[in-house]
């Protein structure tokens, strides 16, 4: 009787151990399956995220290419439509028959050709200035921005002002041109679409970055809208802005003030090297 009780106790203990072992195995398998499932889920998420980033980069690249092609086409059209006819006309005044003309007629032809060539030179200078504003090249971004905002302010369409707080050391000229074009595009969009009453640009810097902030009291967009437009076929101007920001290795942030009284656009670029 005592032997049967002992055997029964041992059998019960073995049964409990077996159940415990099965439970531990089940728990271990459950953890392993969970980890594998979670890892696959993370991998899929990372792949989707990578694809979204690649798609975004492709959109920015396409926008940059379209922007460059538009610039080339515009310059080619200006040269063909404006400069070309002027030079052709000047050539008519200076053809081989000029040697057979009376001295007075020769002087008049030469004078007329000179006037036309001067006009052509001025047109070429204007085209060159549109590519690289002379104020920007000679005096820097602060002067170029002040000049742009003074012209806007003088038009009477809205109050425009600029204040640079810390620009003793210029960034590279190529960077300045990108920043100038970004702000120019933003300002044009604000003037066209926002019905703003004022627009104000500020500049600040720390040891590693420069910050350009554009404030206006019109209708604007926030970051989510900017990001959405960059993933669609619309908003070529915004894509050009994003392309230039990428070239600068910078960031751009669209915000609305908590009081909802004005919008703010911040451009942050690293200080790669001095001018």
Which pLDDT tens digit goes with each residue over 113-147? 888 888 888 777 767 666 677 888 888 899 999 99
Q: 250 and 146, same structural domain?
A: yes
Summarised one tens digit per residue, pLDDT across range 72-82 is 666 766 676 67
247 vs 76 pLDDT, higher one: 247
Residue 61: pLDDT over 80: no
Residue 275 lies in a domain: no
Summarised one tens digit per residue, pLDDT across range 177-207 is 889 989 988 998 898 888 999 999 999 998 8
pLDDT in the model for residue 174: 83
Tokens 């007329």 — which residue?
A: 112
Distance CA 86, CA 239 (A): 36
Contacts of 150 (CB under 8 A, 6+ apart): 160
pTM of this prediction exceeds 0.75: no
Q: 197 and 266, same structural domain?
A: yes
Beta strand spans in the chain (E): 159-164, 198-205, 209-216, 251-256, 263-270
Number of domains in the chain: 2
161 vs 41 pLDDT, higher one: 161
pLDDT in the model for residue 202: 95
Q: How confident is the model at residue 265 (pLDDT cuts 50, 70, 90)?
A: very high
Which domain does 19 fall in, by range? 1-131
Residue 158 lies in a domain: yes
Torsion of CA 54, 59, 61, 67, to 10 degrees: -170
Residue 233 lies in a domain: yes
Residue 162: pLDDT over 90: yes
Mean pLDDT of all residues in 20-35: 75
Residue 34 lies in a domain: yes
């Amino acid at each position: 009787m005592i032997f049967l009780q002992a055997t029964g106790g041992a059998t019960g203990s073995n049964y409990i151990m077996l159940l415990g072992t099965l439970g531990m195995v089940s728990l271990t398998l459950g953890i392993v399956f969970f980890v594998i499932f979670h890892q696959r889920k993370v991998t899929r998420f990372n792949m989707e995220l990578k694809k979204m980033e690649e798609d975004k980069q492709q959109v920015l690249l396409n926008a940059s290419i379209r922007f460059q092609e538009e610039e080339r086409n515009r310059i080619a059209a200006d040269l063909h439509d404006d400069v070309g006819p002027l030079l052709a006309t000047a050539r008519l005044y200076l053809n081989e028959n000029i040697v057979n003309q009376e001295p007075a007629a020769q002087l008049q032809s030469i004078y007329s050709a000179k006037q036309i060539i001067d006009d052509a030179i001025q047109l070429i200078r204007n085209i060159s200035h549109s590519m690289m504003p002379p104020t920007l090249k000679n005096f820097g971004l602060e002067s170029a921005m002040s000049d742009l905002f003074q012209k806007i302010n003088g038009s009477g369409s809205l109050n425009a002002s600029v204040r640079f707080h810390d620009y003793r050391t210029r960034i590279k000229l190529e960077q300045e041109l990108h920043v100038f074009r970004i702000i120019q595009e933003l300002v044009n969009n604000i003037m066209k679409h926002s019905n703003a009453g004022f627009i104000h640009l500020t500049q600040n810097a720390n040891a590693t970055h420069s910050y350009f902030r554009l404030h206006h009291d019109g209708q604007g967009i926030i970051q989510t809208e900017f990001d959405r437009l960059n993933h669609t076929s619309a908003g070529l101007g915004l894509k050009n802005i994003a392309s230039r920001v990428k070239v600068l290795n910078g960031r751009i942030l669209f915000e609305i003030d908590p009081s909802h009284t004005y919008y703010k656009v911040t451009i942050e670029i690293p200080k790669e090297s001095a001018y």
